[in-house]
Amino acid sequence: MKFPYSETVLEHFRHPRNVGKIENPDGKATEGSPACGDMVAVYIDVDPKTKTIADIKFESYGCASNIATGSIITELAKGKTLDEAKKITWKEASEALGGLPKIKVHCSVLAVEGLRSAIQNYEERHGLVKEQKPTTVEVIRQRLKKVINPLTGLNVVRTNIVRDIEIKDGTVRVLVDIPQDHQFAHAIKEDITERIEPLWDVKKLVVEFTE
Amino acid sequence: MSDRVVYLDNAAATRLDERVLEAMTPYFFDTYAVATSEFGYSQGIEAREVLDGAREALADALGASPEELIFTSGSTESSNIALKGVALALGKKKGKHMIVSKIEDFPVLYSSQALEKQGFQVTYLDVDGDGFVDLDRLRDSMTNETILVSIQHANQEIGTIQDIEGIGRICREKGVLFHTDATHTFARVALDVKNIPVDLATVSAHTIHGPKGTGGLYIRQGTQIAKWVDGGFQEFNLRAGLENIAGAVGFAKAVELVTPEETKRLQEMRDRLIDRILAEIPNSTLNGHRWKRLPQNANVTFHFVEGESITLHLDMRGFAVSTGSACFSRSLEGSHVIFGIGGDHERAHGSIRFTFGRYNTMEDVDAVLQASAEIVQELRSISPLGKNKEKEEG
């Protein structure tokens, strides 16, 4: 039999390590979207003394590359310090898997981003963001690029449905150009909240719709 | 890993029947000459007669006369000849508008797009949730400029069979040519051109255990179509190129071997698989119409899981199926057919097509059902989606 993946990829695909969910995790993140395709969720528990990743789990709604990368990334990250884990690249994950097809980068990169976002989520929730740069419109815009518009499968910034971003005294106001009663209004609002609220200087987030 | 392969991708290609190969073999080794005119040499005359016989058999299967059927290299070429040939013949004379459905297979869709670049206008008709074209909408889309309607007999992915008789009648009423891509229905679902007003029909051997690289195009007598595969005068001067005698013989043999009993058997396998999946695997949705569908086609979306993961797991257990997931496709785009019937990325993401053929058995149905149920359950257990729903219904 001939399969399109390396033996290591197939092994991780068949028997993914560290699969599941951590209840009340110290940090968590979801990357991707069911609307655009693959999706991965990463959960971490952190040893507060050593700042190392004590436990890590992942869930995947994705193809073989997505599952295998999720699996290998948890193995690579476990026991590492947050700073070390943050530096794990897609290339390292891919090499550890014995290589991934180029066309599959976009599905596998989600797991790497998921790990970084989960660490970031932990640091933000625990006041560990070192350089506390003030949140600017550009910072918000960058974060919103990870919010996928389920209608198009593209991010809300690229598809121009973010009409306006305003920051005033710690309150961030995001104006989204879809009706309030739109089928995906709730999902998009939740996604935006998840990405913006953890920012250290954001006291309040208001997501508004145009109609 | 299993040694035995259960092949359930018969819409893509089928295993050649030994009897087809046997019928073809003499035309590789004994009568291999080019088909000559009746004034040629013996072997060439024999080749000519054999080709004519194959043509007659195929035309007969469509209720057509032999002069109305040309051999091609397969359904891709047939549909290209139909669309581009009509465009070339009528574009300057009558108009530059064509109508196709949104869920056509790629030869029709991309021929249409190619013609748009040459100044033709193409209307891509919406279909409903089951994949049906709306006849009123079809009628309303026609203008004085419309030269061709191309709507498939049955869909390659979800299996929905169109009302081509109704479509043909409207075309006839309006004096517009009608082409149908019958790649997946030919020899299994009745298409008699004496009763159904179709002017052009694409057929192929590869879906009925015949040889790949052999297809046909039915062209009703008097249809205005221009030749654009230039060279010799073969195929009634409509398609140049050395005749594939062995292929034509194999195609005719393949058609002869398809029986109503066999088609009924495929349909029983289809029905058993669909019924069992919907009853036994929670959160699964049938794609396409439940009854007006190809006898050999089942297509289901398993929610909360991704199709390439399912196909790879099935492959490792010895089952070959296909999916409409973006991850599986070369273009990284989800199935245009699933989007066409109003589905979203999620519905395409977890869609699996099972297509049956001569060499499948009821045991295969139960085995693939069992394997799919286990794989879907396993993948759902690692999916961040649908956990609550699963508990409610499972």
Mean pLDDT of B322-347: 81
In eight-state DSSP terms, residue B68 is: G
Query: Do B186 and B134 have their domain in common?
Result: yes
- The H-or-E segment that residue A29 falls in is strand A27-32
| DSSP collapsed to 3 states, chain A | CCCCCCHHHHHHHHCCCCECCCCCCCEEEEEECCCCCCEEEEEEEEECCCCEEEEEEEEEECCHHHHHHHHHHHHHHCCCEHHHHHCCCHHHHHHHCCCCCHHHHHHHHHHHHHHHHHHHHHHHHCCCCCCCCCCCHHHHHHHHCCCEECCCCEECCCCCCEEEEEEECCEEEEEECCCCCCCCHHHHHHHHHHHHCCCCCCCEEEEEECC
Whether B89 is in a domain gets the answer yes
pLDDT confidence tier of residue B104, bands split at 50, 70 and 90: very high
Helix/strand/coil for B153: coil
Answer left, alpha or beta for residue A29, where phi above 0 means left and psi between -120 and 50 means alpha.
beta
My answer on whether B227 and B276 are in the same domain is no
Tokens at B240, concatenated: 């140049």
Domain range for B126 is: 31-257
The active-site residue, picked from B33, B312, B327, B379, is B327
Domain boundary among B257, B287, B303: B257
Q: By the CB < 8 Å criterion, does B391 face chain A?
A: no
Domain for residue B120, yes or no? yes
Nearest to A107 among B327, B346, B382 (CB): B327
Q: Do A64 and B309 touch (CB under 8 A)?
A: yes
**Cβ neighbours around B37 below 10 Å, total:** 9
Contacts of A59 in chain B (CB under 8 A): 382-384
CB atoms A37 and B308 under 8 Å: no
The answer to whether B126 and B76 have CB atoms below 8 angstroms apart is no
Per-residue confidence in pLDDT tens, chain A, 211 aa: 788 899 999 999 999 999 999 999 999 999 886 555 788 999 999 999 999 999 999 999 999 999 999 999 999 999 999 999 999 988 899 999 999 887 777 778 889 999 999 999 999 888 877 677 888 998 899 888 877 776 666 778 888 889 999 999 889 999 999 888 787 787 788 878 878 888 888 899 999 998 7
B132 DSSP assignment? P
Q: Do B315 and A35 touch (CB under 8 A)?
A: no
Q: Is B171 a catalytic residue?
A: no
B7 touching A (Cβ < 8 Å): no
Q: B interface mutation test: which of A63, A65, A69, A194 has the most B CBs within 10 A? A: A63
Nearest alpha carbon to residue B167 among B198, B195, B146: B198
Of B211, B238, B257, the position where a domain reaches its end is: B257
How many domains are there within chain B? 2
Q: In which region does residue B293 sit, left (phi positive, over 0), alpha (psi from -120 to 50) or beta (all else)?
A: beta
Residue at B183 is within a domain: yes
Write the CATH number for B61: 3.40.640.10
User: Looking at residue B267, which CATH number applies to its domain?
Assistant: 3.90.1150.10
pLDDT tens digits for range B376-391: 999 999 999 877 544 4
B-interface mutation test, from A15, A33, A61, most B Cβ less than 10 A away: A61
Reading the block at residue B384, the tokens are 């961040």
Q: Is B315 on the interface with A (CB under 8 A)?
A: yes
pLDDT at B43: 92
Q: pTM of the full predicted structure?
A: 0.86
DSSP assigned state of A19: B
- Would you call B320 an interface residue with chain A, using a CB distance cutoff of 8 Å? no
Structure tokens at B327: 């991850």
Hey, are the CB atoms on B346 and A19 less than 8 Å from each other? no
Q: What is the ipTM of this complex?
A: 0.86
pLDDT at position B392 is: 39
B123 and B51 fall within a common domain: yes
Tokens representing residue A180 in the block: 């309030």
Residues B233 and B305 in one domain: no
pLDDT, residue B36, reads 85
Residue that is last in its domain, among B229, B257, B285: B257
Contacts of B312 in chain A (CB under 8 A): 3, 5, 13, 63-64
Q: What domains sit in chain A, N to C, each tagged with a CATH number?
A: 7-125 (3.90.1010.10), 137-209 (3.30.300.130)
Catalytic residue among A10, A19, A22, A36: A36
Give A-chain residues touching B309 at CB under 8 angstroms.
13, 62-64, 67
d(CA A40, CA A36): 12
Q: Give CA–CA dist B208/B187, Å, rounded.
A: 8
Taking CB atoms and an 8 Å cutoff, what residues of chain A touch B6?
A: none
Q: Is B208 part of a structural domain of the chain?
A: yes
- Residue A111, burial from CB neighbour count under 10 angstroms (0-12, 13-18, 19+): buried
